[in-house]
Amino acid sequence: MYEAQYYKDIKNKRIAIFGITPPPIGGVSVHIDRITKKFTENTNNNNKVYNFKTEFRGRRYLLAPYLFYAAIFLIYHKIDIVYYHSSYLPNSFTEILFLSRLKKYLKFINFKFKLILVEHNCRHMYKRSKKDLHKINKALKNTDLIVFMWASTYDSYVNNNIKINKYIIDSAFLPPDMSKKNDILKTYPQTLYKFIDTHKPVLLVNASIISTAEKDLYGLDKSINAIANLKSKTPNIGLIIALANIGNKEYFDNLKEQIKKLGLQDNIYFLLDQHEMWPLLEKIDLFLRPTLRDGTAISIFEAFIFKKPVVASNVCERPKGSIIFDINSEQDFIEKIKFSLKNT
């Protein structure tokens, strides 16, 4: 199984990792949590994590914007390498441009650090404005390396005429700590185990937060409709929707109303709040990834650890072994689920 390699051979460095850390639990935040540990394993590295998205954004320190607090953070800790994850967040281009300019000007006082962008998402560049694309091109002039998660993420830069100097193509997957499996399983509610015991087959779809900026980003609606279609021949089918954050409560209520209208109250279980999901994959029969856009999707690799089939949308490159469906065809989604269940 292809695992991330970019942390290897980095030793005796002071490292700053900029990005989201759990909670919330999501693909990028989980990767950051695991890569932080990898950077410290037998390397003598000193890691500092700066949560750019939630910890400081919007606050002010000594009447200075949070970006300047980031500069103080880098100088105070004498950082050698900055890893910035990832450019899909709303203000990320501004942040990357700021860091690149900071890198340029600090060298005049003999303070040097490498700036490395770790890019997780293979779709968002296609939706960016010309102003955004111009900004990222300016930022990358002072960026030492881009780590692309999958070739399709690299392609999204090339197809949008973003100039790339030095890059590597890697994977975001890092295996979980299996010694924690039983402890994590104890955090799940007993009603979840009862649901699993009383349904067959059991499918799982997950989302870090409900996002409707471009319809239903994680395909929760598609998953519910698929269960409605499959129930006629498989009345005991079950779907677990693992949702770390509700986010859009109105849409969440609409999903519950949709479930009620379809008569699926007994077939669908919501696992809410911040739960590490990977141990649950051992308990289910099929994992669904019907996203409208995506990054590496670490959860797919985690499903493969437990030899579980995965049905995933064709919106980006997927790990070998995934069963791919056309995102524009709900019927194809249903047929691929049927195929997967038939062959489990």
Tell me whether residue 44 is in a domain: yes
189 found inside a domain: yes
Residues 86 and 130 in one domain: yes
CATH code at position 189: 3.40.50.2000
Distance between CA 50 and CA 18 in Å, rounded?
5
Tell me, yes or no, whether 130 and 211 share the same domain.
Answer: no
Continuous H helices in the chain: 27-40, 66-76, 92-106, 130-140, 151-158, 181-185, 190-197, 220-231, 249-261, 298-305, 330-342
Residues 166 and 198 placed together within one structural domain of the fold: no
Provide the 8-state DSSP code for 25. Answer: P
What's the token pair of residue 151? 């070739």
Does any domain span residue 8? no
Residue 175 lies inside a defined structural domain of this protein = no
Specify whether 153 is located in the same domain as 206.
Answer: no
Domain identity same for 160 and 232: no
Phi–psi pair at 311, nearest 5 degrees: -105, 120
In a domain, 5, yes or no: no
Instruction: Profile the chain (344 residues) by mean pLDDT over runs of 10 residues.
Output: 88 94 82 93 90 58 70 94 88 89 92 96 85 91 94 92 95 93 96 98 93 82 98 97 91 96 98 93 98 83 96 90 96 98 86
pLDDT the model gives residue 126:
87
pLDDT of residue 86: 86
* Bridge-based pairing state of the strands 286-289 and 268-272: unpaired
Could you say which of 107, 137, 170 is where a domain stops? Answer: 170
Geometric angle at alpha carbon 45, from 5 and 153, rounded to 5°:
30
Looking at residue 61, its pLDDT comes to 53
The packing angle between helices 27-40 and 298-305, to 10°, is: 70
In degrees, rounded to 5, the angle at the alpha carbon of residue 76 between the alpha carbons of residues 70 and 77 is 95
Give phi and psi for 95, each to the nearest 5. -65, -45
Residue 255 lies in a domain: yes
Task: Please report whether residue 9 resides in a domain.
Answer: no
Boundary of a domain, candidates 170, 202, 224: 170
186 in the same domain as 140: no
Shared domain for 317 and 257, answered yes or no, is yes
Distance CA 2, CA 171 (A): 7
* Assigned domain for 23 exists: yes
Pick the last residue of a domain from 142, 170, 198: 170
Give the total number of structural domains in the chain.
2
Q: Which domain holds residue 92?
A: 14-170
Are residues 115 and 139 part of one domain?
yes
163-171 CB contacts, 8 Å cutoff, 24+ apart? 163/137, 164/140, 165/140, 165/141, 168/6, 170/4, 170/5, 170/6, 171/2, 171/3, 171/4, 171/5, 171/296, 171/301
Residues 254 and 317 in one domain: yes
pLDDT tens readout for residues 175-228: 999 999 999 999 999 999 999 999 999 999 999 888 776 688 899 999 999 999
Rg (CA), the chain: 21
φ/ψ of 89, rounded to 5, equals -70, 155
Quote the pLDDT of residue 66.
77
Q: How many CA atoms lie less than 13 Å away from 80 in the CB half-sphere?
A: 9
Query: Do 189 and 325 fall into the same domain?
Result: yes
Residue 56 to residues 15, 149, 248: CA-CA distances in angstroms?
A: 19, 26, 23
pLDDT at residue number 289: 97
Cis? peptide before 235, omega within 30° of 0: no
Judge if 80 and 193 occupy the same domain: no
Structure tokens of 90? Answer: 């709303």
Residues 53, 120 within the same domain: yes
What is the C-alpha to C-alpha distance for residues 38 and 42, in angstroms, rounded to an integer? 9
